[in-house]
Amino acid sequence: MKIEIAKNAGFCFGVDRAVKIAYDCISEKDKLSQNNLADDSLIYTYGMLIHNTDVTNDLAKKGISAIEKPCDAPFGSRVIIRAHGVPKSDIEYFKKNNIKLIDATCPFVKKIHKIVLDEYINKGRTIVIVGNPEHPEVIGINGWCNNSAIIISDENDINDMLLKLKDIPISVVAQTTIRRQLFKKVEEILKKHFTNADFFDTICSATSERQKSAAELAARVDMMFVVGGKNSSNTLKLYEVCKELCENTVHVENSKIIKKQYNNLLNKKMKVGITAGASTPESVIKEVYLTMAENEMNFAEALEETLKPLK
Ligand code: F3S
Chain-centroid distance of CA 275 in Å reads 15
Cα-Cα-Cα-Cα dihedral sign, residues 25, 30, 31, 35: positive
Architecture of the domain made up of 108-200: 3-Layer(aba) Sandwich (3.40)
Task: Report the sign of the C-alpha dihedral through residues 297, 301, 306, 310, in that order.
Answer: positive
Of residues 307 and 98, more confidence is placed in 98
What separation in Å is there between the alpha carbon of 181 and the centre of ligand 1?
18
Neighbours of 47 (CB within 10 A): 16
Q: Which of 72, 70, 111 is nearest to 89 (CA)?
A: 70
Reduced to 3 states (helix: H, G, I; strand: E, B; else coil), residue 46 is: strand
Counting residues of the chain whose pLDDT is more than 70, the rounded percentage is 91
Instruction: Tell me if 6 CB under 6 Å of ligand 1.
Output: no
How would residue 39 be classed by pLDDT, with cut points 50, 70 and 90? low
- Banded pLDDT at 125 (limits 50, 70, 90): very high
281 near 269, Cβ under 8 Å? no
Is there a common fold for 2-11+207-310 and 13-106? no
The pLDDT score that the predictor gives to residue 302 is: 43
Model confidence pLDDT, tens digit, residues 179-234: 888 999 999 999 999 999 999 999 999 988 999 999 999 999 999 999 998 878 78
79, exposed or middle or buried, with CB in 10 Å at 0-12, 13-18, 19+?
buried
pLDDT digits (tens, 9 = 90+) for 156-194: 899 888 878 889 999 999 999 888 889 999 999 999 999
How many whole angstroms from 229 Cα to the centroid of ligand 1? 17
Nearest CA-CA partner of 63 in 48, 41, 37, 34: 41
Is it the case that residue 295 has pLDDT exceeding 60?
Answer: no
User: Global pTM?
Assistant: 0.83
d(CA 272, CA 282): 18
Q: Within 10 A of 256 (CB to CB), how many other CB atoms are there?
A: 12
Q: Is 108 in the pocket of ligand 1 (CB under 6 A)?
A: yes
Q: Quick check: 143 pLDDT over 90?
A: yes
Give one DSSP letter per residue of 14-57, joined into a string. Answer: HHHHHHHHHHHHHHHHHHHHHTT------EEEES-SSS-HHHHH
Query: For the chain, where are the E strands, in sequence order?
Result: 2-5, 43-46, 64-67, 78-81, 100-103, 126-130, 150-152, 170-174, 197-200, 223-227, 249-252, 271-276
Residue 118 has pLDDT above 90, yes or no: yes
* Sheet order of strands, 150-152 included: 150-152, 126-130, 170-174, 197-200
Q: How far is CA 135 from CA 27, 54, 130, 140, in A?
A: 31, 22, 11, 9
Read off the pLDDT of each residue in 48-61 and give the average, rounded to a whole number: 88
Residues in the chain: 311
- Is the distance from CB of 129 to CB of 158 less than 8 angstroms? no
pLDDT of residue 102: 96
Nearest CA to 46 out of 10, 9, 97, 118 is that of 97
- CA dist 47 and 49 (Å) reads 6
- Tell me, using a 6 A CB cutoff, whether residue 225 lines ligand 1: no
Mean pLDDT, to the nearest integer, of 129-137?
94
CATH 3.90.1110.10 is held by the domain 2-11+207-310: no
For residues 11-32, average pLDDT: 90
Q: Chain-wide mean pLDDT for the chain?
A: 89
* Residue 106 alpha carbon, nearest atom of ligand 1: 1
Domain 13-106, CATH class in plain words: alpha beta
CA 43 – CA 34 distance, rounded (Å) = 18
Mutation test of ligand 1: which of 17, 108, 203 has the most ligand atoms closer than 8 Å to its C-beta?
108
Sorted by where each begins, the domain ranges of the chain are 2-11+207-310, 13-106, 108-200
Q: Indicate whether this complex's ipTM tops 0.95.
A: yes
Q: For residue 121, give the DSSP letter.
A: I
Q: What is the DSSP letter of 224?
A: E
Say yes or no: CB of residue 204 within 6 Å of ligand 1.
yes
State how far the Cα of 214 lies from the Cα of 280, in Å rounded to an integer.
Answer: 14
Say which range, 29-33, 139-143, 297-301, has the weakest mean pLDDT. 297-301
